[in-house]
Structure 1
Amino acid sequence: MRRYLLSRVLQAIITLWLLTLVAFVLTRLTGNPLDVLLDARATEEDRAAMAQALGLDRTWSAQYAIYLGKLARGDFGDSFKTRRPALEVVLERFPWTLELGSAAFLLSVAIAVPVGVITAVRKDTAVDALGKVIALLGQSLPTFWLGLMLILVFAVTLGWLPAGGSGSLSHLVLPAVTLGWFTVAGIMRLVRSAMLDTLGDEYVVTARAKGLAEHRVVWRHALRNALIPPLTYAGLVFVTLLAGAVVTETVFAWPGIGQLVIESMAFRDFPVIQVILLLFGALYIAMNLAVDLLYAWVDPRIRLAEAGERAR
């Protein structure tokens, strides 16, 4: 177990370093920030002075070395646009994205788990077919299209909910449904598959033979064990929801990191973009590591394999 833990931590560190490199290169490919920061009347001397002030007058390799050195000291640089610490700018918006992602996640779980269980119990029936249609729609409908359709129906036509903005629970409904709908299909299919495997286990057959009510067998006994695979998958889904909120936040004018990404890309604000990429990359790596360690703790085969290697 210790060797497995060390190997996974080492892989996470290497992945995080590669992420810093990718974030650095991708931001530079968006263009020169001086074209946005300075107007057309700026002279070459003005451009040179601004480039030197921002550290853009050096080669990419030199800039990357300086960037890594600052990261090691916990310095993520200052925003080109606001001249404030880039990390501070991002963390101001993060609670909004966290609120939207959490609402979307809870909504998707509340829909996916019951539907997954019911379609497993009613396998090869009309209910199961309907569940497959829901899964297909969840994976095929573009987020921006679904968001626009929800606005058209519930905000413009019916007037039940606001079309965008923030500040109340009603503002959260449409973006949460839009963002959460995409993950319903994956969780539902995983729950269905796990339930089909669990419903054939001996303890379930025994519980039915003892005369337990079917709803108790399914919802109290079978579901408890069937939820283990979906729970490990759910952590990665949550981080994916946070990172994938860019389109949804843009459609609904939600003041989260998604809006900040669009603004920073337009302004070519390298430090802010790099912080955003590193934040979500680190969250995904940390969640993936936690899932791997959970599997190692639950699955004794990993510990037995390590014991066998030591014995050799």
Structure 2
Amino acid sequence: MNPTAFLRFTARRVAEMAVTLLIASFAVFGALYLAPGSPASFLLAGRSPSPEALAALTARHHLDDPFALRYLHWLGDVLQGDFGRSLTYRTDVSRLLADRLPTTLLLVTMALAVVLTAGLVLGRIAAVRGGRTDAAVLVATTLAIGTPSFVAAVLLQGLFAVRLGWFPSSGAGDGLLDRIWHLTLPAVALALYLIGMLARVTRTAMLEALDSEHVTVARGRGVPEHLVIRRHVLRNALGTVLTTGGLIVATLLVCTILVETAFSIGGIGQLLELATTTKDFPTVQAVSLIIVALFMTVNLVVDLLLPLVDPRITLGTRGAAA
């Protein structure tokens, strides 16, 4: 791979991501003004302030300024890490994010590890062994895909936390090891649907690779079967699997709202659910923007890894990698 071309491609993708985030920030900020009622009514959260307090609120949030100027004020604060003040928690939103974001990132990371491990292994076994094993994997993945995250959360919580007592039923724990223990069941509940999806994607990609000409040639040359599977089949299938990475992470970020609520985990998913319920708009804006930024970052990483994983892909095909 040409290093200069790779750096140019990376710079272009980063610039595209910055533009997308800018557009997303405009949409997130503008949603306050598209909703019924005035922006002040959201910020007041149903309270009836004195004229002096209302004037102070108007001045603080630049509500008398033109819309474009208000957006620029807000964007400037966001770029400095200031997302405003939570109407529900009466504290800076940036402090809430700093307290809760690490828990969500750990939960998503654990769930992603479970998805990749189980999905790739099941997909490989189904494609290579075939027959009854393939049928059993297809049945299992069908059940996994048909089980929503919140249903999986309730079932796992009832069996392994309440009845067997192997895992805590709620909370995020204290310290790394205790936190991992607390987040094990939520991570499995979050991962279950995606395990089924990734296993099927892996199986299909490997079956296509098994029928390819270069695999037939490798077998004809006497290359051991395990090397054929590892070097020619699985590696070629990884490109297809990797392209689903953005969808997997996006699903994890969305479903974490349900799972965190079910297990009472103090992450940004539960924070977003509570903020939406209480119309805590500054918090909703901040969490929404963070989720968009995480999703865009994952897509950027996927685009950069694709040419490294699959040599057939050069810079320029997927969005700009060919």
Q: What TM bracket, shorter-length normalisation? A: 0.7 to 0.9
Match of 2:45 in 1: 36
Deviation at residue 227 of structure 1 after TM alignment: 1.8
Counterpart amino acid of 2:301?
Answer: A
Q: Does the 8 Å CA contact 2:120/2:202 hold for their aligned counterparts?
A: yes
Match of 1:136 in 2: 142
The alignment status of 1:154 with 2:168, answered yes or no, reads no
Deviation at residue 165 of structure 1 after TM alignment: 1.4
1:159–1:73: structure 2 CA closer, same or farther, 3 Å change rule?
Answer: closer
TM-score, length-normalised on structure 2? 0.78
1:16 aligned to 17, 21, 34, which one? 21
Q: Does the 8 Å CA contact 2:206/2:233 hold for their aligned counterparts?
A: yes
The alignment status of 1:201 with 2:208, answered yes or no, reads no
| Structure 2 counterpart SS, 1:300 | coil
Counterpart amino acid of 1:302?
Answer: G
Match of 1:89 in 2: 96
Q: Does the 8 Å CA contact 1:8/1:289 hold for their aligned counterparts?
A: yes
Higher mean displacement: 242-251 or 11-20:
11-20
Deviation at residue 69 of structure 1 after TM alignment: 3.5
Aligned residue runs from structure 1 range 284-299, under 5 A: 284-295=295-306, 298=311, 299=313
Q: For 1:177 and 1:274, how far apart are their aligned partners in 2?
A: 29
Q: For 1:109 and 1:295, how far apart are their aligned partners in 2?
A: 16
1:296–1:107: structure 2 CA closer, same or farther, 3 Å change rule?
Answer: closer
1:113 aligned to 100, 116, 120, which one? 120
Counterpart amino acid of 2:19?
Answer: I
Q: For 2:257 and 2:290, how far apart are their aligned partners in 1?
A: 14
Counterpart amino acid of 2:106?
Answer: E
Q: For 1:273 and 1:184, how far apart are their aligned partners in 2?
A: 29
1:65–1:201: structure 2 CA closer, same or farther, 3 Å change rule?
Answer: same
1:195–1:279: structure 2 CA closer, same or farther, 3 Å change rule?
Answer: same
Q: Does the 8 Å CA contact 1:33/1:267 hold for their aligned counterparts?
A: no
Aligned residue runs from structure 1 range 178-193, under 5 A: 178-193=189-204
The alignment status of 1:98 with 2:109, answered yes or no, reads no
Q: Does the 8 Å CA contact 2:103/2:266 hold for their aligned counterparts?
A: yes
Deviation at residue 102 of structure 1 after TM alignment: 1.0
Higher mean displacement: 145-154 or 97-106:
145-154
TM-score, length-normalised on structure 1? 0.81
Deviation at residue 245 of structure 1 after TM alignment: 0.8
1:176–1:152: structure 2 CA closer, same or farther, 3 Å change rule?
Answer: same
The alignment status of 1:246 with 2:257, answered yes or no, reads yes
Aligned residue runs from structure 1 range 223-262, under 5 A: 223-234=234-245, 236-262=247-273
Question: What are the superposed Cα offsets for residues 234-257 of structure 1, whole Å, 9 maximum, x if unpaired?
Answer: 355235423431110000011111
Match of 1:309 in 2: none
| Structure 1 counterpart SS, 2:249 | helix
Identity of aligned residues (%): 34
Q: Does the 8 Å CA contact 1:16/1:281 hold for their aligned counterparts?
A: yes
| Structure 1 counterpart SS, 2:244 | helix
Deviation at residue 210 of structure 1 after TM alignment: 4.8
1:52–1:243: structure 2 CA closer, same or farther, 3 Å change rule?
Answer: same
Q: Does the 8 Å CA contact 1:235/1:287 hold for their aligned counterparts?
A: yes
- Structure 1 unaligned regions, length at least 5: 307-312
| Structure 2 counterpart SS, 1:161 | coil
Q: Does the 8 Å CA contact 2:103/2:267 hold for their aligned counterparts?
A: yes
Root-mean-square deviation (CA, aligned residues, Å) is 3.2
Deviation at residue 113 of structure 1 after TM alignment: 0.6
Match of 1:279 in 2: 290
Q: Does the 8 Å CA contact 1:120/1:192 hold for their aligned counterparts?
A: yes
Between the two structures, name the one with larger relative contact order (CA 8 Å, sep ≥ 6): 1
Deviation at residue 115 of structure 1 after TM alignment: 0.9
Deviation at residue 302 of structure 1 after TM alignment: 3.0
Counterpart amino acid of 2:193?
Answer: F
Count, aligned residues: 300
